[in-house]
Amino acid sequence: MSELYANGTDGSTPVRDKMTRGETISGSVNAYIYIYSTSVWATRPATDYTPRIIPFFAGITVPLEEGRILWQK
């Protein structure tokens, strides 16, 4: 699953906004490269948010320390 993540502020819970898979990127040969998108309120700076890919298993919560979470660097 892909999502946009931001740490919580002032004791609030973190923002975890699921991203939607769109079209494939044209010109990608022998690969599946997609564009993902989502929308968030502009009440926080864009630098607060980080896209990430996390393992998905129905009914299971994945901790932030999980080594298989791929964070954008």
DSSP states of 36-65 as a string?
A: EE----TTS-GGG-EEEE----TT-PPPTT
What pTM, to 2 d.p., does this model score?
0.70
pLDDT of residue 16 exceeding 80, the answer is yes
pLDDT tens column, 19-50: 999 888 887 777 778 888 999 888 899 999 99
> Which pLDDT score, from 0 to 100, does residue 47 have?
92
